[in-house]
Structure 1
Amino acid sequence: MLHHIEIHVANLSVSLQFWSGLLAQIGYRENGKWNNGFTLAYDRVAYLTFVQVSETHAFQRYRRCGAGLNHLAFKVKDRDTVDKLRLYCMANGIVSLYDQKSPFANDDTDYYALFIEAPDSIKVEFIADDLSPL
């Protein structure tokens, strides 16, 4: 079982505003905050920690199509939740990916999802649980 994920970010204040607002829409809450980081948690399951990248490594930019993490995917309750997230993102100027195919971006009508781009170019997916194969 996944325990947590730690993500180093280029701008902590931008990331705090983005991630805390977005993930609050699906029940995540701030679970800790310190000078160079914060944690968001959902109930007592896996949590996400965001840490300001050190100056030593700040020049190394994230590339989601390179080796390593491609994206984070969150299972949400249903299609309505995906649609509400889409509206939240539009209202907050959050970049949506694959708009021309949305909400069936993977060309499968049984896979209802929203794909967005977070700060630091991290792709984030929200998939409706009522259709999810897992």
Structure 2
Amino acid sequence: MLHHVEINVTDLNKAIEFWGWLLSELKYEVYQKWDSGISWKFKKTYIVFVQTEERFIQAGYHRSQVGLNHLAFYAESRQHVDQMTEKLRERHIPILYQDRHPFAGGADHYAVFFEGPDRMKVELVAPD
């Protein structure tokens, strides 16, 4: 079981707006808060977001470079993927691979792929 993931972000307030909404939808709850970070927890796993120091922000992030490519979460069902897709669209969150949605991951992989505020890819996958 994964214990936690820590992600540095360029704008903590934007991260809180995006991740707070998404993780709340996935039943995560705020776990810890401090001046430069926040975490959300579900069962025993938690995800931490920390404000990147100004001197490191210029380096930028891209999921194709060395490092984390994306986070994938389980949805409750295909219907949940569809409901979340609509909520993402309502919030104007970029949906990736729209031409192949909801099978962008393959014929047996029902999911929605989208981007967070630092352009990190996020995936919500229906169980088999």
TM-score range, shorter chain: over 0.9
**Structure 1 runs of 4+ off > 6 angstroms?**
none
d(CA) in 2 for partners of 1:24 and 1:81?
14
d(CA) in 1 for partners of 2:27 and 2:89?
19
Task: Give % identity.
Answer: 39
Specify the alignment match of 2:59 in structure 1.
60
Q: Give the superposition deviation at 1:61.
A: 0.6
Question: Residue 13 of structure 2 aligns to a residue in which SS?
Answer: helix
Q: Choose 97-106 or 54-63, whichever is displaced more.
A: 54-63
TM-score of the two chains, using structure 1 as the length reference: 0.91
d(CA) in 2 for partners of 1:106 and 1:39?
28
Question: Residue 56 of structure 2 aligns to a residue in which SS?
Answer: coil
d(CA) in 2 for partners of 1:80 and 1:26?
14
The code of the aligned residue for 1:79 comes to R
Structure 1 position 101 matched with structure 2 position 95: no
d(CA) in 1 for partners of 2:60 and 2:67?
12
For the aligned residue pairs, the C-alpha RMSD in angstroms reads 0.9
The code of the aligned residue for 1:78 comes to S
Q: Give the superposition deviation at 1:38.
A: 0.4
Task: List runs of 5+ in structure 2 lacking aligned partners.
Answer: none
Question: Residue 118 of structure 2 aligns to a residue in which SS?
Answer: helix
TM-score of the two chains, using structure 2 as the length reference: 0.96
Specify the alignment match of 1:37 in structure 2.
37
Question: Which structure is higher in helix share?
Answer: 2
Specify the alignment match of 2:120 in structure 1.
122
Specify the alignment match of 2:6 in structure 1.
6
Task: List runs of 5+ in structure 1 lacking aligned partners.
Answer: none
The code of the aligned residue for 2:48 comes to T
Q: Give the superposition deviation at 1:14.
A: 0.6
